């Protein structure tokens, strides 16, 4: 027996029982090993489905170009489809994605455009916007848009769900998966719930993403959005493929817990998986410890392979630099702001004030960073280092309004994040980050604050 092309080998991935990382958990926990797809991820399934459906609808014609915003794995699936069907590929990616993903896509003949991570989806520089722009400019191009293209969900409804039901002989009681575009969770959950209406679904989210709060409150809260390191799950938008009615519970997982579990899966279970696989397993097992019963069977999706992350979570130096391999307990953003109790209310300045007024205020308060506000909203920032550089070049600058010289607002980070997120944000040319406490009050965290808190521990 042989296959006519590599895309014919997509699907029918195995279920494997977890034995060591599940100690103390009742019931049976299985993982679906999606990295055994030819593109080493579950995204192969929906990539080929989106192209097949586009061909049937006449949206893409022979010799056309596939243009997509991707975190890497969808791009790989689309690249395989393009090779088999004779298309060209252009992919846009956020700069937080691993270099391995970028190099793999280029090796498959794709053009890769790297875009900044820390911009809004609507920003013309975002990888969403750049993909849409290229689609408009290039004739006979197809923008699959994995976030809103319902062929994504259909692919998993037609393949992943039936495979799990068949291979568990209908005994599955719980299904867990990371939620990014939402297709694998929603499509698989829809099929499984049609077979068993009592089946429980658990979506895994990350800190910095909007999903969990939106599910629980119906509110899209922009305050939930901040940079995080984990690739492939969570979003700062609400993709059409995320059907919240099919997801019973959400569990949030930190970058650190995800990374450590990813390495444990390799070391203890022989599963050399990607970062979001660690997220899915850690979050699912946290939920299972409280809820799974002896006769229950949970299936967790393992989305991709560890080769995508050799220079990140499988690199000891990178892990250590982010506080993931240290034995000491790292301070959280909460620890830092609680140690600032004697510092009083956050000092801010209105954007219509002058630069001279800002300098006087910074001198009076003994601070080096100053958030800029307008009508109660953070709209910019000032730092003494940048102000000094600008004033030296333009002495009359001190009479200008702050709104004419300010920089972008300081990034907001999560209250429970450790040095993984804090150090990354401060390392990227930012001198401070912001965080909201339990009462929604804003605070500023500087490099000095982090150093002082660590010295006190």
- For the chain, state the CA radius of gyration: 24
- Measured CA to CA, the distance from residue 408 to residue 428 in angstroms comes to 13
Catalytic residue annotation: 43
Closest CA to 380 of 334, 324, 434: 434
* Structure token digits, residue 11: 């699907």
Alpha-carbon gap, residue 331 to 453, rounded angstroms: 7
- Going by C-beta distance under 8 Å and a sequence separation of 6 or more, which residues neighbour residue 340? 443, 449
Q: What is the DSSP letter of 16?
A: E
Length of the chain as a residue count? 457
CA distance 369 to 384: 7
Cα–Cα distance, 365 to 367 (Å, whole number): 6
Q: What is the dihedral of CA 42, 45, 46, 47, to 10 degrees?
A: 100
Asked if 355 and 391 count as a contact pair (C-beta separation under 8 A), the reply is: yes
Place of tokens 């939402």: 182
> CA distances (Å), 246 to each of 130, 156, 188, 266, 299, in order?
31, 14, 10, 31, 16
Helix (H) or strand (E) holding 285: helix 275-291
């Amino acid at each position: 027996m042989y296959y006519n092309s590599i895309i014919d080998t997509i699907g029918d991935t195995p279920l494997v029982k977890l034995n060591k990382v599940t100690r103390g958990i009742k019931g049976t926990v299985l993982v679906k090993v999606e990295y055994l797809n030819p593109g080493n991820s579950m995204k192969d399934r929906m990539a080929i489905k989106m192209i097949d459906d586009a061909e049937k609808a006449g949206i893409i014609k022979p010799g056309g170009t596939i243009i997509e915003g991707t975190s890497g794995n969808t791009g790989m699936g689309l690249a395989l489809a393009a090779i088999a069907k004779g298309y060209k590929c252009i992919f846009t990616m956020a700069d937080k994605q691993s270099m391995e993903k970028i190099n793999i896509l280029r090796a498959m003949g794709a053009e890769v455009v790297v875009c900044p991570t820390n911009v809004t989806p609507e920003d013309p520089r975002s990888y969403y916007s750049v993909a849409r722009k290229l689609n408009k400019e290039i004739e006979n191009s197809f923008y699959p848009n994995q976030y809103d293209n319902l062929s994504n969900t259909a692919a998993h409804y037609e393949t992943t769900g039936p495979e799990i039901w068949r291979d568990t002989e209908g005994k599955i009681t719980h299904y867990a998966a990371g939620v990014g575009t939402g297709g694998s969770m929603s499509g698989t959950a829809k099929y499984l719930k049609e077979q068993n209406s009592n089946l429980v679904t658990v979506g895994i989210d990350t800190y910095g993403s909007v999903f969990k709060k939106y599910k629980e409150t119906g509110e899209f809260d922009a305050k939930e959005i901040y940079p995080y390191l984990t690739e492939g799950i969570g979003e700062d938008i609400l993709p059409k493929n995320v059907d919240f009615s099919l997801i019973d519970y959400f569990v949030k997982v930190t970058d650190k817990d995800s990374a450590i579990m990813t390495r444990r899966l390799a070391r203890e279970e022989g599963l050399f998986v990607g970062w979001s696989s660690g997220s899915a397993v850690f979050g699912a097992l946290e939920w299972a410890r409280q809820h799974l019963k002896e006769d229950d069977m949970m299936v967790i999706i393992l989305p991709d392979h560890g080769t995508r992350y050799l220079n990140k979570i499988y690199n000891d130096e990178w892990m250590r630099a982010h506080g993931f391999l240290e034995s000491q307990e790292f301070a959280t953003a909460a620890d830092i702001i609680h140690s600032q109790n004697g510092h009083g209310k956050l000092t801010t300045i209105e954007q219509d004030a002058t630069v001279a007024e800002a300098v006087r205020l910074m001198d009076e308060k003994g601070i080096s960073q100053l958030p800029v506000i307008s009508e109660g909203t953070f709209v910019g920032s000032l730092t003494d280092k940048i102000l000094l550089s600008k004033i030296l070049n333009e002495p009359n600058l001190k009479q200008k309004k702050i709104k004419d010289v300010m920089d972008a607002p300081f990034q907001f980070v999560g209250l429970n994040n450790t040095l993984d997120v804090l150090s990354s944000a401060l390392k990227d040319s930012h001198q401070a980050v912001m965080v909201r406490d339990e009462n929604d009050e804003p605070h500023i965290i500087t490099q000095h604050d982090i150093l002082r808190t660590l010295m006190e521990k």
